[in-house]
Structure 1
Amino acid sequence: MSKHIGVVGLGIMGSAISGNFCKSGYQVTGYDISQERCDELAGKGGNIAGSPGEVAAAADIVLTSLPSSAALDAVVSGDGGIAATGNKAAPIMECSTLPIEDKQRNHDALAAAGITMLDSPLSGTGAQAVTKDLAVYLSGDESAANMCAEIIEGFARAHYYVGEFGNGSRMKYVANHLVAIHNVAAAEALVLGMKAGLDAQTIFDVISDSAGNSRMFEIRGPMMVADNYDDATMKIEVWQKDMGIIAAFAKSLACPVPMFSTTADIYTAGMAQGRATQDTGAVCAVLGEMARLKR
């Protein structure tokens, strides 16, 4: 492959993405504040940089996958950041789920340095990222988006150009609004069936082939059946960030989202039960406890 890919942020999503680029034959350079994550990429054949700026200087295209707006600020404008030392020919695909205004601030900081940032959030879980079952929502400069579209097959199954900068995040908020609801709905249905005496695996097998099936039922159903949520592809504590962003977005538009709002307390109950680092599929255990389900 001709493109050299940079990845800043090697967490659940970034590690899967960078690993798939390596498998697809791309040269990959990555950076993370965790040495363990850096060592993991090195073990897959990737190169490790000493800063985000070094990643950008080496790469043709850079993807950032970060846990917070503060992390993005540091990656863009901090010591060794992309704005100061980046490669002006390399577009930045900002793949995190963050408030649009925070992405816009960093977009503007990079633009002042002659660097193009795209708002490019991803739809899919960490488990889906491993199998390249991701959709990419590209928004911003169209020529840069077309350039980045050429590498999508290295880490995702689909991409959509959705227009002006920020539309990628808007589309991601809509997608995650549905994820929040479908995840709790899948858990609630399984708990209902189990409380009625049905076998959990049988419920999953039958409903997966029914009109009531959903992607979340397919993806998180197996861990709900196993009642094991420790191998997290999206931790409840991280999901709280996404829930807050979507709630604030809806409020800013004066748009009621009653079903979404109802799910928030279920995820919060998971935090209260000490499930912060478990997968969001653990809402099945939360609802099971509420129903006094014995498993």
Structure 2
Amino acid sequence: MVTPSPVVGMIGIGQLGLPIAVNLIRAGHPVVGFRRSDREAFAAAGGRVAHSPAEVARAADVLLLCLPDERAQAAVLDGEQGVMGALTPGKVVIELGTYRREFKIAQADRLRAQQVEMLEVEVSGSPPMVADRRAALYIGGDASLMERCRPILTAITEHHFHLGDIGSAVAMKLIANALVTVHTLAAAEAMNLGVRAGFDAHRVAEVLRHGAGNSAMFSIRAPLMAARRFSPAPGPFETLEKYLHMGREMAHSLGCATPLFSTAVPYFERAIAAGMAQEDISAVIKLVEDESNHRVDGENARAR
């Protein structure tokens, strides 16, 4: 007798949640989901649209939460037609959002009091990487629970790593996004150097990604920089912003020197202040180019 796939609930089917839900549907999992608006793509992919978080929680065996911040999470958990009043013992919650470690631990404790288990899963990868099943999952929580959830995790991506207790996954995610920040600024610096050395921008992006200087961020962001394709944004500044703050706080609490991250962060903060929040972070090259222009103008002025 074939055991039916567990019903997967998905609250938060936006830029990141939608490709996760689509991967689950393609793997054969029945998925019921909720989002306040723009649910057409989810329904078109084969998802069943629910009309409240509570409806999703009641229908699902395993509930995935993919919300942008702690405030949105609290509203879904405890608001009208919220999750906490609808969960029953034996269900599993997979927390995909990036929040403070203390917030996650408190959430896990609340769920445990209702005999509901929680797995912390941080997604490292842009929405296109998630769609192509190339993202990585950083996982915190009970290892045996992870094994029970493996079919669902594998439907999302083959790359998952158990790191320890609840809170360990968010720590690794912040480390990863510190590298995203540094590597994106480094890619912008390299692209600007290449163009000013007389090369076509597309040629720089093509050649460097095949050599020792390549990085994941160069491969993803350099073509966007060359094409000046900053919108629609696969990874906007406004999404990265909270990781900048959380990463800086974690480094400070651990007493870690972060010379490159500390240098890079102000560029991204300046981009947000300049009204670029919804552009892709590859647009940081505009600040590097602007600084280069000012330097040339200053040298020309001194020469006169």
TM-score range, shorter chain: over 0.9
What's the TM-score, normalizing by structure 2?
Answer: 0.91
In 1: Cα distance, 2:286 partner to 2:64 partner: 35
Contact 1:236 1:271 in 2 (8 A): yes
SS where residue 265 of structure 2 aligns?
Answer: helix
Deviation for aligned residue 1:286:
2.2
Q: What is the aligned partner in structure 1 of residue 104 from structure 2?
A: 103
Contact 1:6 1:30 in 2 (8 A): yes
Q: What is the aligned partner in structure 1 of residue 252 from structure 2?
A: 251
Aligned length: 292
- Opposite residue 251 of structure 1, the aligned amino acid is H
Q: What is the aligned partner in structure 2 of residue 19 from structure 1?
A: 22
Q: What is the aligned partner in structure 1 of residue 179 from structure 2?
A: 178
Deviation for aligned residue 1:102:
1.5
How is 1:1-295 mapped onto 2 (pairs within 5 angstroms)?
2-33=5-36, 35-36=37-38, 38-292=39-293
Provide Cα deviations, 1:108-147, integer angstroms capped at 9, x if missing partner: 2212222111111011011211211111111112222111
Deviation for aligned residue 1:269:
1.8
Contact 2:5 2:28 in 1 (8 A): no
Deviation for aligned residue 1:8:
0.9
Gaps of 5+ in 2: 295-304
In 2: Cα distance, 1:292 partner to 1:272 partner: 20
Higher mean C-alpha displacement, 153-162 vs 206-215: 153-162
- Opposite residue 21 of structure 2, the aligned amino acid is S
Higher mean C-alpha displacement, 108-117 vs 206-215: 108-117
SS where residue 225 of structure 1 aligns?
Answer: helix
Gaps of 5+ in 1: none
In 2: Cα distance, 1:291 partner to 1:90 partner: 56
Provide Cα deviations, 1:75-133, integer angstroms capped at 9, x if missing partner: 22222222210143221111112211121222222122221111110110112112111
In 1: Cα distance, 2:48 partner to 2:210 partner: 44
Contact 2:88 2:114 in 1 (8 A): no
Deviation for aligned residue 1:241:
0.8
Q: Over aligned residue pairs, what C-alpha RMSD do you find?
A: 1.7
In 2: Cα distance, 1:147 partner to 1:153 partner: 11
Contact 2:268 2:284 in 1 (8 A): yes
In 2: Cα distance, 1:23 partner to 1:287 partner: 42
Provide Cα deviations, 1:180-220, integer angstroms capped at 9, x if missing partner: 11111111110111122111111111111110000111111
Contact 2:120 2:167 in 1 (8 A): yes
Deviation for aligned residue 1:289:
2.2
- Opposite residue 252 of structure 1, the aligned amino acid is S
SS where residue 121 of structure 1 aligns?
Answer: strand
Deviation for aligned residue 1:166:
0.8
Point out 4+ residue stretches in structure 1 off by more than 3 angstroms: none
In 2: Cα distance, 1:5 partner to 1:137 partner: 19
In 2: Cα distance, 1:74 partner to 1:233 partner: 26
- Opposite residue 270 of structure 1, the aligned amino acid is A
In 2: Cα distance, 1:160 partner to 1:247 partner: 24
Contact 1:4 1:28 in 2 (8 A): yes
